[in-house]
Amino acid sequence: MLSYRHAFHAGNHADVLKHAALSLLIANFRQKDKPFIYLDTHSGAGLYALQGEWAQKTGEYKNGIERLWQNQQKWPELKDYFQVLATHNPNGTLQHYTGSPELARSLLREQDKVVLMELHSSEVENLKNNLGFDKRVTIHQRNGLEGLIALLPPTPRRGLVLLDPAYEQVDEYKQVPDALEKALHRWSTGTYMVWYPLLAKGRDQSIPLLRRLQALACKNLLIAELAVESQQLEFGMHGSGVAIINAPWQFDEPLKALLPKLCEALKVNDYATWKLEWRIKD
């Protein structure tokens, strides 16, 4: 029952928050020459056509990456993110959006590795077509949460994981912390970034999810949230968050500078807001 296709949502405000944070995390890992590994449990296709039928149907990217793309000079802190996008949009018009696998692959170095997991058969085919040419990349068609545990501890031991489910099934709010508990047991020093949506009052599960993450045996937990409009009663995603387990030292600093800027650039109305908080601090 895999109905979710990320092409409808590629480049929206939630992708901007997630991919901006990911590019900053990777920059942090690149500060040392030592190799590192990037694991993506829910990879998607890796690359999306913004002029395609699906992206055009929702037009979500227009209130997301397109707002920043028009003023790239204002975002020196996101130069890595924009550099990767520019490679796929060489004539300056935003036509393609790079998902987390391609963003990470492009920012990693010769000595680093990428492991991508995706369950959907046609998405995994797209992913192989888009990224399979790179010998640093391994692609698995499998359940990413089970795969993560099976692959830990990784070689090299230094690295980061993105857990980015669509949360179409409410069970995923439980499966993610369950998997992280096992993952931390096998690889306590890994950095894990969990993306989650901020949904309408009747459906939001971010508070119980964060409560579970806070109970994990980890060194620290940093959360960054961005809401672009007010919370609705029944439907809609007004924002999203990333929870970073074992965040690098002082990783709140770049986010503290970024979040108010993103909030201003992506706001839909004056209820837009952001939050940055250490839930566990080492």
Ligand X SMILES: C[S@@+](CC[C@H](N)C(=O)[O-])C[C@H]1O[C@@H](n2cnc3c(N)ncnc32)[C@H](O)[C@@H]1O
| Residues with active-site annotation | 164
Going by C-alpha positions, the residue among 98, 179, 177, 106 that lies closest to residue 136 is 106
Q: How far is the CB of 249 from ligand X (least distance, A)?
A: 25
Minimum CB separation of residue 73 from ligand X in Å reads: 25
Please, which residue, 175 or 231, has the CB nearer to ligand X? 175
Amino acid 162 reads: L
Alpha-carbon gap, residue 69 to 67, rounded angstroms? 6
Distance CA 254, CA 237 (A): 25
**DSSP secondary-structure letter at 20?**
H
Q: What phi and psi, each to the nearest 5 degrees, are found at residue 218?
A: -130, 170
Helix 13-29, helix 79-88: angle, nearest 10 = 110
Sort 3 into a burial class: Cβ within 10 Å, 0-12 / 13-18 / 19+.
exposed
Closest contact distance (angstroms) between CB of 34 and ligand X is 25
- Measured from the CB atom, the residue of 126 and 220 that comes closer to ligand X is 126
When the beta carbons of 123 and 252 are compared against ligand X, the nearer one is 123
Nearer to ligand X (CB atom), residue 37 or residue 119 = 119
CB of 33 to ligand X, least distance (A): 27
* Site residues (vs ligand X, CB under 6 A): 2, 4, 6, 18, 40-44, 99-100, 117-120, 123, 143-145, 164-166
Token digits of residue 93: 């018009």
- Using Cβ positions, the residue closest to ligand X within the complex turns out to be 99
